Amino acid sequence: MAVGIFDSGLGGLTVLNAAQARLPELDFLYFADSAHAPYGVRDAEDIYQLTRKAVHTLWDSGCNLVILACNTASAAALRRMQEEGVPKGKRVLGVFVPLIEALTERQWGDNSPPREVEVKHVALFATPATVSSRAFQRELAFRAIGVDVEAQACGGVVDAIEDGDMILAEALVRSHVDALKRKMPDPQAAILGCTHYPLMEEAFQAALGPDVKVYSQGDLVAASLADYLTRHPDMLGDGAGGYLTTGNPSRVSDRATQFLRRQISFKAA
């Protein structure tokens, strides 16, 4: 019984790793659209078409439930996919929900009016496409008032991570944090709004300082998934687990093994 996890590349492995630790009895089918990564510099229509194709591949592979472990896809494609109709017995969910639940300390099903929350100044680090979509700010506004969100587009970080150049990725993180702090000198919280970024969480925390609470998505999404499946056990599909990629399986496998520090073998999608 497999749950599908989709990402433009390898960033979603941070969600997969947390989900496997939280739900060891489940199989997961991971799809990396590595041939078209990164999504963060693409336009919304392109992101939608690529995401839709990948999600349908996972549905056709026996996954009733697919998690978009990609903030860019969640921002640019999720709402449109849901509005255009999802096949009966299938679901596609994004990764913003658990973040906003944690930040606002209210459940997604809580439809009461927006209210003030403790955190007032939030830094959002994300890809250019996620920043331009303003999807995070829109969803947050439904649940909280009086929260100032300063977004920083982190160009180049995903490319460096996908290339395995962590020295460059760390330098870029410091540069982007410096740019953010020129606009918002004293953020109370920071959202790592790309599932690649938890791989650089220590670099973000070091650059931001110890007083800034950093929200990373892996554990939050895994906990939310566990709760969802408890309430919707029929969403467990009959497909098998594994790893698929549109890129070079050997190269992607090597990078994934490096990231997770355990053997990962991708097959061609």
| Among candidate residues 106, 81, 76, 101, the one with its CA nearest the CA of residue 92 | 81
Largest CA distance in the chain: 50
User: What does the alpha-carbon distance between residue 104 and residue 143 come to, in Å, rounded to a whole number?
Assistant: 7
Q: DSSP letters of the chain?
A: -EEEEEESSSTTHHHHHHHHHH-TTSEEEEEE-GGG---TTS-HHHHHHHHHHHHHHHHHTT-SEEEE--HHHHHHTHHHHHHH---TT-EEE-SHHHHHHHHHTS-TT--SPPEE-S--EEEEEE-HHHHHHTHHHHHHHTTEES-EEEEEE-TTHHHHHHTT-HHHHHHHHHHHHHHHHHH-SS-SEEEE-STTGGGGHHHHHHHH-TTSEEE-HHHHHHHHHHHHHHH-GGG--S---EEEESS-HHHHHHHHHHHHTS----EE-
Q: What are the residue numbers of the active site?
A: 70, 194
